[in-house]
Structure 1
Amino acid sequence: MYTATFDLSIQWRNTAPEGTAFEATEGYASLRLGDKEVWADVHWHWVDLLAFLAENWVFLKMEQTYPVGLRPKMPHLLRCEAETRWKLGEKSGTILETQVEAEEENVFAFEYRHDLACALEGKWVPSVFVLREGNHMMISGDGILIREKYLSVISLLNDLGDKIAERLRQIDDELARLRLAEWEQREKRPFSLELASLVTGASVDFLDEIFSNINAGVNLNDNSPEIQDTVFMAVARMAYGASLSTVSATTILSIVAKTPKCRSQNLRCLQAEAMNKLDNLSSKLSAAEEGRLLAEWARERILLSQQEKKHPDPKALFDRWQVPVHNIGLSHDGVDAMLCWGGEHGPVVIINTGSTRNRKSSGQRAALAHELCHLLFDLENSLPFAEVISGYSDDWVEKRARAFAAEFLFPRRICERYFKNNSVAFFIEKMSSDFDVSTEVVAWQLFRSNIGNTLSTEQKRDIKGFVSNPDVLE
């Protein structure tokens, strides 16, 4: 379960800064994750933290992927997974020593960019990793994982850096001037494919191929000389992570490039209401429960008639808000849909007609309902984003969107209203047909409803036959 508390503060040893850069920034830092104080009154000269933040600012703001193709559940588990892979690879002969050395260097570099403890060179403190995850930040350390809003974490770190910088401005010191200059230039990394590769996780060759094939005037960095997280970089990151071909990635990017920013006032007002609803939910809810409650709110707020509530049409809602939906065939069966936005582009929904699930109307409706959740609750105009629905993803945002889609299309209360304690298989098939949702959605909603606890062992066994991961039902 995620908590939602991250705080890093410094108490200065001297009220007024004086002396060298080290002396002026001497103080005691406390860092809290959730209910635990991970750093307690750590004594240090915090000009080093300013240097760390300035050097790694672009990566803290933009990098969202792990190196060497690994996907640990928490940032601080990266090295453990890497070492396990290296040992198994060396034992089986599938990984050469030179590859291990190269990967170890990449892992070390990643750790240095994202571990706040690396700011305190020469002093041991528990590692605290900060890694962006869409519109959120994952912060992990000392066995704790929390998720905070991206903007709040970046704002906290920015304010802390400004406070350290302000002390340095008040003294006459060569190191202070150097660190101030670095801090003031922290956003101004010149764009290069190599740097874009680091922050997107995509290879240089992949980026070079897709962006050299896009129409003139559209490029990876929105023609800016400085590196920034544009919607095009977000699409590149997600396309590469989902193993899309360069042809598919180029097609998607071309669509996004031609899609102007949505100007629907109704949508903007609705998103503001949605974010207010989200902010008022308890932080102790699971992702699935949060998604269900958000779907209940959305059904009451945006479905205008009884017919709409019986058979919601996500495509009609996107049309109502002037959000274009494009059907294209991608050479990848694991990607159902993408929602892309950022800057002056989008949002735009892309449905993969090549997906097996999307060959049925129930599959396309589920994909669109999933994207509806992202549109309402995950879109913040200041943050570019490209979301891919794929089976391997199990992060918080995706779990919430899956639960939202199921509840939005087929609420649990329908199970409670229509189920008569007869054949589970008959009920699932009939509800699937009547409400145009997959049998798996019906099965899960039945299991999770109040009826789920009353089902017999045999009935639960029948439900397992309709879900792709029956072990979760144990």
Structure 2
Amino acid sequence: MHRSLRYGNIYDRRWIGDWPGMTAFDLGEAFEAFDLPVGRIARHSEDTELAEFGFVNALTLVVLRDGVGPRIRVAIDGGATIWGRAAEGPSEGGEGVLFDHHAFLGFFAANWAALWLERLPANVDPGVFGWGSLTTSAEVGSNERWAPSDDWIEFQTRHCVSSLMLAAEERETQLDWWLVASDDTLWLVVPDQDLRYRVPLGQGMKALERCCDHLARWIHAEGTHPDLVARWTGRRRAARAEIASLYMGVTDRDLVDDAANDLDGDGIAQAFHHTSPVLAVARMRPAYVGPDDLRLLFSEIRRTEARETPALDRLAEHAITEVCNHPSFNRVPLHQQGRRVALWLRSILGVADDATVDPLRFLRDHNVSVAEVTLSADSIDAIAFWGGGHGPGVVTNTRGRHAGSIKGRRTTLAHEICHCLIDRGNRLPLVDVVGGRVPEAIEKRARAFAAELLLPQHRAYEAFLEAGGLACSREDLSDIVVDLMAKYNVSQFVASHQLHNAIRDTSTASREELTPILSYIQSLTRRRLD
């Protein structure tokens, strides 16, 4: 059973980017000289020195060196103590606990790339870290236990900051804590206390880096572990294959070597500045998309050469200029944004209100490659890709939960038209993965666009009025849905969804009059009509 976890409310949107796996700041900012909002080094004597590194209301580390030995305090959320002892007000590091600064620096030197790039393994519940309560995803029953795999054990060695780094007398009271990046968030988790905090990735890593820089100076001055200092100094120079593997969450050697060829060189920064749709698709894929499926997707991307799309590019420019840049566009909900773009496109294409749109023909007429594959996973409906010398192209999955049917494929292709028009090279610089790890706001807008492009809401509302409006029986409502499905060649879900939203957003009737009608239509989005 999953444990409920308490969240620290310390998310700073100033450091958050829109692109999954990317950060809005320049990675190089994390490697500048001492420049933290919370940063001081106080030397009280030749043998006593206190240093503090961090961000207000985020991650802060305090290290103290004196005659007793090196001590550390790790705090978060403006004072919650992870390692150390809580105290009222500043205490010059007195709350710290004795620790092995060599082991601490060695851990971060060895795992720096993983902390920046690696996500949780695909089959691990992200909400739980305790050994006894780890489960697989929802595909496995909640009462089934998850057996730790070799991948999980290796992940633990890279992300668990062990209390074994502390002095023996401190280990009974101080707990392990984990650091796991997810897109542009750094999660700090203390499983044994059911605590989970999130920190902007750049801030958390910068605080850790400053602390480790300081420890490296200590160790260099000691003259005892030059190899350790050298490993820390070279922490960012990971090889391409390691970077590709961590970034994609893939260990298959052939896939890793294939993707690594798309990196411009070694080093962590390459993962943040790549232009490879192959790397992006692998990172954005949902859980349980295995190596064989990735091989098929990689192959489709690789074989699709870059193509000129002047007509599509002009449409995209006009869509952004005439619709998205309108002062009112960003003031309306996302679904209304999607509808506006869809109605604009129908108008530009000269599609009559009662006419259908053929998304496949539109894409091919605008020189977008369209292909099909059969994946073993049904969680991906389609991918769309552009940039990096490939595409634009769309690949649908014949076994996809939605794209597996003819009508579902039409909706999926319409969804990708939205991305090609207003997200390509902007919110989605390289790819879209329908069913994958894509920002929900972008997907919500694209779903609304697809439904409106195929079946305008005002046409659904007109059908409702023609059938009797508020006097419609359940049978009448079912007949309307069936008629809309046939006329516009859409699925039952799309027809019911558009009819529901059209009545909800257009009718001036009272809530009491509308509730039974809307509730019944809503039920049609979840069950098949006989």
Give the TM-score, by structure 2 length. Answer: 0.59
- The residue identity in structure 1 corresponding to 2:500 is F
Partner residue of 1:63 out of 115, 118, 124 = 118
The residue that corresponds to 1:427 in the other structure is 480
1:437 is the counterpart of 2:503 = no
Alignment of 1:68-87 (within 5 A): 69-72=123-126, 77-79=127-129, 83=133, 85=135
C-alpha contact 2:109 2:232 (8 A) present in aligned 1? yes
The residue that corresponds to 2:37 in the other structure is 10
Deviations 1:267-293 (A, max 9, x none): 7746976886899746xx9xxx52x13
What is the DSSP-based 3-state SS (H/G/I as helix, E as strand, rest coil) of the residue aligned with 1:307?
A: coil
* Count of residues paired in the alignment: 426
Aligned mates of 1:62, 1:301 — CA distance in 2: 40
Give the Å deviation of 1:130. 5.8
Aligned mates of 2:345, 2:460 — CA distance in 1: 22
1:457 is the counterpart of 2:516 = yes
Aligned mates of 1:279, 1:138 — CA distance in 2: 34
1:419 and 1:271, CA in 2 relative to 1: closer, same or farther beyond 3 A? closer
The residue that corresponds to 1:89 in the other structure is none
Aligned mates of 2:45, 2:303 — CA distance in 1: 56
Alignment of 1:36-51 (within 5 A): 39-40=77-78
The residue that corresponds to 1:353 in the other structure is 398
1:457 and 1:364, CA in 2 relative to 1: closer, same or farther beyond 3 A? same
1:457 and 1:374, CA in 2 relative to 1: closer, same or farther beyond 3 A? same
1:450 and 1:182, CA in 2 relative to 1: closer, same or farther beyond 3 A? farther
- The residue identity in structure 1 corresponding to 2:77 is W
Alignment of 1:62-461 (within 5 A): 62-64=117-119, 66-67=120-121, 69-72=123-126, 77-79=127-129, 83=133, 85=135, 99-100=147-148, 105-106=153-154, 108-109=156-157, 111-112=159-160, 131-133=181-183, 137=185, 174=221, 185-192=234-241, 196-202=244-250, 204=251, 207-208=252-253, 219-222=259-262, 226=266, 228-229=270-271, 230-237=276-283, 241-243=287-289, 246=292, 248-261=293-306, 264=309, 265-266=313-314, 269=317, 281=330, 289-290=333-334, 292-303=335-346, 304-307=348-351, 311-319=356-364, 322-341=367-386, 343-355=388-400, 357-358=402-403, 360-375=405-420, 376-377=422-423, 379-380=425-426, 385=431, 387-389=433-435, 398-399=443-444, 401-420=446-465, 421=469, 422=472, 423-451=476-504, 454-455=513-514, 457=516, 460-461=519-520
- The residue identity in structure 2 corresponding to 1:427 is I
Aligned mates of 1:399, 1:450 — CA distance in 2: 20
What is the DSSP-based 3-state SS (H/G/I as helix, E as strand, rest coil) of the residue aligned with 2:262?
A: coil
- The residue identity in structure 2 corresponding to 1:443 is S
Say what the alpha-carbon RMSD is for the aligned residues: 5.7
C-alpha contact 1:67 1:110 (8 A) present in aligned 2? no
What is the DSSP-based 3-state SS (H/G/I as helix, E as strand, rest coil) of the residue aligned with 2:383?
A: strand
The residue that corresponds to 2:27 in the other structure is none
Q: Which runs of 5+ in 2 are unaligned?
A: 1-8, 16-35, 60-74, 81-89, 137-141, 506-510
- The residue identity in structure 1 corresponding to 2:337 is L
Give the TM-score, by structure 1 length. Answer: 0.64
Aligned mates of 1:337, 1:166 — CA distance in 2: 45
Q: Percent identity?
A: 20
Give the Å deviation of 1:428. 0.8
Aligned mates of 1:469, 1:127 — CA distance in 2: 48
1:382 and 1:361, CA in 2 relative to 1: closer, same or farther beyond 3 A? closer
Deviates more, 1:418-427 or 1:319-328: 319-328
- The residue identity in structure 2 corresponding to 1:201 is G
1:467 is the counterpart of 2:512 = no
C-alpha contact 1:261 1:345 (8 A) present in aligned 2? yes
1:308 and 1:268, CA in 2 relative to 1: closer, same or farther beyond 3 A? same
Give the Å deviation of 1:437. 1.5
1:31 is the counterpart of 2:39 = no
What is the DSSP-based 3-state SS (H/G/I as helix, E as strand, rest coil) of the residue aligned with 1:78?
A: coil
Deviations 1:208-241 (A, max 9, x none): 35578xxxxx554427563654433344456683
- The residue identity in structure 2 corresponding to 1:222 is D
| Largest Rg, 1 or 2 | 2
Aligned mates of 1:278, 1:250 — CA distance in 2: 44
- The residue identity in structure 1 corresponding to 2:300 is I
Give the Å deviation of 1:401. 4.0
Aligned mates of 1:225, 1:101 — CA distance in 2: 31
- The residue identity in structure 2 corresponding to 1:226 is D
Give the Å deviation of 1:424. 1.0
Give the Å deviation of 1:433. 1.7
Aligned mates of 2:265, 2:235 — CA distance in 1: 14
The residue that corresponds to 2:23 in the other structure is none
- The residue identity in structure 2 corresponding to 1:351 is T
Give the Å deviation of 1:435. 1.9
